[in-house]
Amino acid sequence: MKAVWVQNVKLYDPVSGLDGVPGEILLQEGKIFSAGGTITLQDTAGLELEIVDGKGLCAAPGLVDMHVHLRDPGFIQKEDIETGCRAAAAGGVTSLLCMPNTKPAIDTRETLRYVLDKGEKAAVRVYAAAAITKGLSDEGALCELEALYEAGAAAFSNDGRPVTDSGKMAEALRRAAALGAPVVSHCEDLYLSKGGLMHEGSVSRELGVKGVPRAAEECCTARDIALAAAYNVPVHICHVSTRNSAAMIREARARGVQVTGETAPHYFALTHEELRGRDADKRMSPPLREEEDRLAIIEALRDGTLQAIATDHAPHTLEEKACFETAPNGSIGMETSLAASITYLVKPGYLSLLEVLRLMSSSPAKLLHLPEGTGSLAAGAPGDVILFDPKETWQVDPEKLHGKSRNAVFKGRMLTGRVKMTFCRGKLVYQDA
């Protein structure tokens, strides 16, 4: 493998605090050999070199997306591990956590190994969340969490089919804590959300469709916080979308509860007003909320209540998304996540670019206990680096995206910030045409 010498870039490293410092990076044998000031000829002596001129670009650690649906096995007409990772690379994502709602579910060592082995051959690093219960069923027994962790599971989750049995959830939290593995919880009271197509509010009433109340998310969030507090164990709350969920997490953290949370770009960028056109690509779970929720999510990112930005990348076919009333929930987002975060957080002045990069790299890496150095430009860290232009403006065209599906929530929008090159394991895995 050739060593890669990246020259003339501005360095952003949320771990060391490098904040737009001019410098260079040397990638060697799949790792970062050096990142900082000028690389010397002595550093490169005897190396077969590929020189990359990054003039006008920023360099940062590869992004870590801790909430992705790759649909493989079982639903590969929507996405598969290879195509999902190709989309990830195009968005600057070099490590991802895939959810277990596949067919079969990731609830056995065999299915887990299928995913991880296939991920080894993909463009970026694939980590997997294993199921909490057999078949992701509320009636199912708890999975063999210890065996799954031993086989390589990075986390545990039932994703969109949350564990409603509080006793089972408590046991799962305790067992996962003993292993040092996070439990990633999709907080939704399925009884309250049943039949809902979008947020319950003025727009749902105007369209005459059943809505999903904030309480559907908030009841489950409160339950999981209570369990974490009662048993002194950690829990991670997925895709936080409401002001009250954010407030509960903030209050719980203030009194020492081990609760963390993430949100997705669409929750700090868009509101339920987007649904007036009855576009099923803008339907997801939890749904787009109201302006006060959007602003509350931004504040929760600003004050540290939420520790990560993830995408909940959820591909579906064109046929599935054709009808607003019957379409499944979910939108794709890995290729637009950095640009959306720059557009809706950095440009308005809510967060700095370095703060956004921390929420998208080093912080989720820490939450998932990924290998040391992930999300950093430190010497010896994984050779996962992105080069991007923070000022380039582009229009999201679903037909030009790199995965199988086209259900992009930001389609047609002008975004600022474009990934130009992505390196994973020291190898170029994406270059903007």
Q: Which residues are catalytic?
A: 312
- In the numeric block, which tokens belong to residue 22? 């001019």
- The order of strands in the sheet holding 427-431 is 31-36, 18-28, 3-13, 49-61, 385-395, 414-424, 427-431
Is the CB of residue 27 less than 8 Å from the CB of residue 198?
Answer: no
Residue type, 35: A
Residue type, 414: M
Distance CA 96, CA 126 (A): 5
Is the CB of residue 346 less than 8 Å from the CB of residue 352?
Answer: yes
Distance CA 384, CA 5 (A): 13
Q: Which long-range CB contacts under 8 A does 107-111 form with residues at least 24 apart?
A: 107/131, 107/133, 107/134, 107/135, 107/136, 107/143, 107/148, 108/148, 109/147, 109/148, 109/151, 111/73
Give me the residue label for tokens 């501005």.
10
Maximal C-alpha separation, the chain: 70
Distance CA 187, CA 159 (A): 9
Is the CB of residue 63 less than 8 Å from the CB of residue 94?
Answer: yes
Distance CA 238, CA 263 (A): 7
CA-based nearest residue to 364, from 268, 239, 255? 239
CA-based nearest residue to 384, from 127, 114, 81? 127
Is the CB of residue 30 less than 8 Å from the CB of residue 383?
Answer: yes
Distance CA 159, CA 214 (A): 18
